[in-house]
A and B are shown apart, each in its own frame.
Chain A
Amino acid sequence: MATLNVLILVCLGYVVLLFGVAFAADRLAAAGRGRWLRSPLIYTLSLSIYCTAWTFYGAVGNAARSGLEFVTIYIGPTLVMISWWWGLRKLVRVGRSQRVTSIADLVSSRYGKSNTLAICVTILAVLGGTPYIALQLQSITLSFSIFAEADPSGLYREGSSVFWVAAGLAVFAILFGTRNLDVNERHHGVVTAIAVESVVKLFALLAVGIFVVWGVAGGIGPIMDRIDASEIGQWQVDGGRWTAITFLSAAAFVCLPRMFQVMVVENDDEGHLRTAAWAFPLYLLLMSLFVIPIAVVGLDLLPAGSNPDLFVLTVPLSQGNDWLAMLSFIGGFSSATSMVIVTAMALSTMVSNHLVMPIWLSMQESKSSVSGDVRTIVLLARRISIAVIMCLGFFYYRLSGGGAALASIGLVAFAGISQILPALVGGLFWRGATRTGALAGLSVGFGLWIYTLLLPGMGGWVMPETVLQNGPFGIGWLRPQAMFGLEGIDPMTHTVLWSLALNTIAFCVTSLLSFPSPLERLQGAQFVNVFDHSVAPRGWSGSVAQSEDLMIMTQRILGAAPAQEFFQLEAEKQGGRGRLPEPTPGFLERLERELSGSVGAATAHAMIGQIVGGSSVSVEDLLAVADESAQLLEYSGQLEAKSAELSRTARQLRDANAKLTQISMQKDAFLGQVSHELRTPMTSIRAFSEIMRDTEELSPEEKTRYAAIIHDEALRLTRLLDDLLDLSVLESGQVSLNMGEATLHAVLDRASSTALAGAERPLKIKRTKVSERISLHTDLDRLGQVFINVISNAQKYCDAAEPVLTITAHDVGGQAVVDFVDNGSGIPPEAQSMVFEKFARVGIDKAGGAGLGLAICDEIMQRLGGEISYLPGQGGAAFRVSLPLAYRQAAQ
């Protein structure tokens, strides 16, 4: 007989082994090695966490009590794995692409990130999970007690051992479940340890089975005879209950937090499901293979009244096979520990994420903005949650006293957790499902589960017998175990039927009647159409063709040179030949980091996701992108304003430049004109002076004539220079006006006599003296200069046979208006607009004017606050001079 001390040593040794395995696996994973850690085999073995101590011990107990019914617990998951693997694939894909951390997270995420739903699911999971944890603790304690009974030292204390077991499991879960700083990281260590445990428990159960069949019963033939003889062998199928339990186990397989943890959260590659789809049912088959023989032999061998839940242990013990019993104990211990650890991890994630963190954040909000490392807070919350959940399990165990049969506690938990199913499956496949619908369904199902199964099961002090018999307040159709008058069926079936049916109906009807929020619709589309949105199942991965796209994108963000340098470096690191690196996950992660420095993490992730298609863009991503975009928009708004300012400045510069160019061209043209005007008289002067110098035989007449030409041309030059200087002074605005008082009549008198003095051709001037009695206050000399110019132009250019110039004056609203109209052919319309331009001479200038006269007049009139303009349609050439009666220089 093995002593308790040996047992404890073996236990401790086993736990140390598990620690070692988990630690090594974590180290390997952290180092990026150990690909086998992510193999389909490990994944499948980790799924076998489904088989807890309840299955290990309880299946035999169940078989001993109810015959083949235990099989239903295995049929459910098997059916799911074989016929609904595509649904699981969708679940896994959604979980991966949305980066969910728990089933509560998934449900809340689907229904528009509703924390109310998350809290509901979390509470449900904790309520369902706590008895389950207690169940594991109980199984360990029971198995301990079997050995303790035989231990002579009598040192065994049940209470303290449960406590230490619970504490040890908590430490393990905290150490390996919350070791990583990144809460989304997979827990390779724990998963690997669980895989090892699942091998151990299968091995143990098979060993006991083989021992029972061949060692005790004496082979397959005899054991078959024994089974036939036993009650268990009778094929009694309660169709309703079987269907209910099969369905429950199937639902629980999908909904249980720990199953979700290993199946979805810890999943590395959704391809692993393909292996698990046949390997996991195979595992279940092996697990159930020897259940009936052990039960039958146990019933035969052991005295009546022995706990059939412990046949796996007691049968080898009764046969004196201590080491096999020890192995069996380790198997049960494995089943219990693995379940407790993963459940604690999964529940703690939910509790910390959906209960603790929201409260903590809202408390922070009231103080100041959230700062510091939130992750350490999250981890702390998770560690405390694990401890609390273990405590809950411990206290539940102490309170319940460990009396109820293992299997029934398990089934109650199954029924509770299954209430999530309608919301979960509906959310995956039905876009019309809404948050309100999910809440309604969950509440109805949860309520019914408590009312019809949980409370009645707790005994008379919670739910009096009268309520069970007659219904609350005597309302018959509300009897917890005979709702709506449905009597005579098994309570479990009754609960499953009503809770899930009403849950589903409430879910569907409320969904149809309520309207989803935009976020819900968005998330709904993401979930239901997850296969359209996402492609690759693991991290970042891509083909070389995508490297080019990535390069193009990176160049746009980082600029050409830094992008090329980065890619070159990466390509060299990979040792590749080309300039483009393979889009390995590592490279993509580094690229994402590089890009997030420029465009923000969310945008970078979304952009790479777009190209590589590795993960769909979650709503959080989108919101983060929107956030960043808002900042960018604001920034780009500023940039835009700046750029508008710049372009305005550029336009002004361009305009100024165009003006300068124009001025420069005008200056060139002007200089060309001046050059021409100067060179022309100089040419005559030079030519004739050379003639006079070089030609001896000139007649006196010729000499006189040529000297006259030279003289005239010299005068012309002088006039031109005078005009140029005058114009230059006027244009520069530096002219000082010599103001005086006179009547218009007097000014015109002086001007006409000056203009006509020495004129060869006669010009008759018609004036109306009465109208000229306008007194003026202006620069009289400058005004006279304008009049002289206009009159002498008429004298020079009027082509009428008898040239007549008519001068009329008006006083129009404080303005003196003087019109000069001759009887010539006038100025052609196309030339009218340019008569005031410098050097604008119309036709052949026989009079030898420089063409500056009217330009000067224009400048003078502007100085005097008036203007000179050409009047078209007057028959001859017609000019109008208008000016203010009293010009105030200050007004300029």
Chain B
Amino acid sequence: MSRKVLLIEDEPNITEAIRFLLTREGWQVETHAEGTDAVQVILAAEPDLVILDVMLPGKSGMDVLRDLREHENMARLPVLMLTARGQSRDREMAENAGVSRFMTKPFSNSEVLTAVRDLHAQASQS
């Protein structure tokens, strides 16, 4: 069974790095670089997990997550959020918006992999 991850990130180099890592782990990686239509893309792609950047063109990752959680069946979709701003307020906002895991850039590859594995495992069990 293939596991699908949707990576929403506007930095091409970061997108490439994560794609590399997760593909090797056996994930099917889809990517998107815009905030504006991110919710529609997620709904259409039906991923097992979403990796979401905060500073996206058009619409912030926070708003994307908030809107996503309002959709049916999307309340429990694991969402791993990445941000380069790293202020404590952002973590708070993300938690209020319904994030599953929040990580600050720059991250170590193993951290990202562990987070993705954990989130997926939790989602599969329940």
Are both chains from one complex?
Answer: yes
Q: Which residues of A contact B (CB under 8 A)?
A: 672, 675-688, 690-691, 694-695, 709, 712-713, 843-844, 846
Q: Does B17 contact A (CB under 8 A)?
A: yes
The closest CB in chain B to the CB of A677 belongs to B84
- B105→A672 contact, CB < 8 A: no
The closest CB in chain B to the CB of A716 belongs to B13
A-B contact pairs, 17 of them (CB 8 A): A672-B85, A672-B87, A675-B84, A675-B86, A675-B87, A677-B84, A678-B84, A681-B13, A682-B106, A683-B11, A683-B17, A686-B106, A687-B109, A709-B13, A843-B57, A844-B33, A844-B57
CA A695 – CA B113 in complex, angstroms? 14
Contact A687/B57 with A676-B85, A680-B11, A694-B109 known, Cβ cut-off 8 Å: no
List chain B residues, Cβ under 8 A from A843.
Answer: 57
List chain B residues, Cβ under 8 A from A688.
Answer: 13, 17
Question: Which residue, of A678, A685, A694, A844, has the highest number of chain B Cβ atoms within 10 A?
Answer: A844
The closest CB in chain B to the CB of A709 belongs to B13
- B106→A685 contact, CB < 8 A: yes
Contact A676/B55 with A683-B106, A691-B21 known, Cβ cut-off 8 Å: yes
The closest CB in chain B to the CB of A843 belongs to B57
List chain A residues, Cβ under 8 A from B85.
Answer: 672, 675-676, 679
List chain A residues, Cβ under 8 A from B16.
Answer: 709
List chain A residues, Cβ under 8 A from B40.
Answer: none
What 4 A-B pairs have minimum CB-CB distances, sorted nearest first? A687-B17, A679-B84, A684-B13, A683-B106
List chain A residues, Cβ under 8 A from B115.
Answer: none
Name the contact of A680 in the complex, choosing from B14, B21, B33 (C-beta under 8 A): B14
Contact A691/B20 with A679-B105, A680-B84, A680-B105 known, Cβ cut-off 8 Å: yes
Contact A691/B109 with A672-B85, A679-B86, A683-B84 known, Cβ cut-off 8 Å: yes
Which residues B67-113 have CB closer than 8 A to chain A?
84-87, 104-110
The closest CB in chain B to the CB of A668 belongs to B87
Name the contact of B14 in the complex, choosing from A687, A694, A695 (C-beta under 8 A): A687
Per-position 1/0 for B9-26, Cβ under 8 A of A: 011111011101100100
List chain A residues, Cβ under 8 A from B108.
Answer: 686, 690
CA A683 – CA B53 in complex, angstroms? 12
List chain B residues, Cβ under 8 A from A675.
Answer: 84-87
The closest CB in chain B to the CB of A702 belongs to B20
- B11→A687 contact, CB < 8 A: no
CA A678 – CA B20 in complex, angstroms? 22
Q: Which residues of B contact A (CB under 8 A)?
A: 10-14, 16-18, 20-21, 24, 33-34, 55, 57, 84-87, 104-110
CB distance from A830 to the nearest CB of B (A): 13
- B10→A844 contact, CB < 8 A: yes
CA A672 – CA B16 in complex, angstroms? 24
List chain A residues, Cβ under 8 A from B34.
Answer: 844
Interface residues of chain A: helix, strand, loop or mixed (majority): helix
- A690→B109 contact, CB < 8 A: yes
CA A681 – CA B13 in complex, angstroms? 8
CA A16 – CA B14 in complex, angstroms? 124
CB distance from A237 to the nearest CB of B (A): 114
CA A675 – CA B55 in complex, angstroms? 12
CB distance from B94 to the nearest CB of A (A): 15
The closest CB in chain B to the CB of A679 belongs to B84
CA A843 – CA B109 in complex, angstroms? 29
CA A240 – CA B21 in complex, angstroms? 139
List chain B residues, Cβ under 8 A from A679.
Answer: 84-86, 104-106
CB distance from A797 to the nearest CB of B (A): 14
| 4 new A-B contacts at CB < 8 Å, known A680-B14, A690-B108 | A672-B85, A679-B84, A684-B17, A686-B107
- B106→A676 contact, CB < 8 A: no
List chain B residues, Cβ under 8 A from A690.
Answer: 108-110
List chain A residues, Cβ under 8 A from B13.
Answer: 681, 684, 687-688, 709, 712-713
Contact A683/B109 with A675-B86, A676-B85, A688-B13 known, Cβ cut-off 8 Å: no
List chain B residues, Cβ under 8 A from A685.
Answer: 106
List chain A residues, Cβ under 8 A from B107.
Answer: 683, 686-687
CA A840 – CA B57 in complex, angstroms? 12
CA A507 – CA B27 in complex, angstroms? 120
CA A709 – CA B16 in complex, angstroms? 10
CB distance from B31 to the nearest CB of A (A): 14
List chain A residues, Cβ under 8 A from B104.
Answer: 679
CA A843 – CA B35 in complex, angstroms? 11
CB distance from A34 to the nearest CB of B (A): 84
CA A690 – CA B20 in complex, angstroms? 12
List chain B residues, Cβ under 8 A from A678.
Answer: 84
Contact A682/B105 with A676-B55, A688-B17, A691-B21 known, Cβ cut-off 8 Å: yes
CA A712 – CA B105 in complex, angstroms? 18
The closest CB in chain A to the CB of B86 belongs to A675
The closest CB in chain B to the CB of A684 belongs to B13
The closest CB in chain A to the CB of B107 belongs to A683
CB distance from B56 to the nearest CB of A (A): 10
List chain A residues, Cβ under 8 A from B10.
Answer: 844
CB distance from A632 to the nearest CB of B (A): 54
List chain B residues, Cβ under 8 A from A712.
Answer: 13
- A687→B55 contact, CB < 8 A: no
List chain B residues, Cβ under 8 A from A694.
Answer: 109
List chain A residues, Cβ under 8 A from B17.
Answer: 683-684, 687-688, 691
CB distance from B111 to the nearest CB of A (A): 10
CB distance from A395 to the nearest CB of B (A): 106
The closest CB in chain B to the CB of A713 belongs to B13
CB distance from A282 to the nearest CB of B (A): 98
CA A377 – CA B91 in complex, angstroms? 89
The closest CB in chain A to the CB of B10 belongs to A844
CA A680 – CA B57 in complex, angstroms? 15
CB distance from A456 to the nearest CB of B (A): 113
List chain A residues, Cβ under 8 A from B55.
Answer: 676
List chain A residues, Cβ under 8 A from B87.
Answer: 672, 675
CA A684 – CA B105 in complex, angstroms? 9
CB distance from B112 to the nearest CB of A (A): 8
List chain A residues, Cβ under 8 A from B109.
Answer: 687, 690-691, 694
Question: Which residue, of A682, A687, A694, A709, has the highest number of chain B Cβ atoms within 10 A?
Answer: A687
Question: Which residue, of A675, A679, A683, A694, has the highest number of chain B Cβ atoms within 10 A?
Answer: A683
CA A676 – CA B106 in complex, angstroms? 10
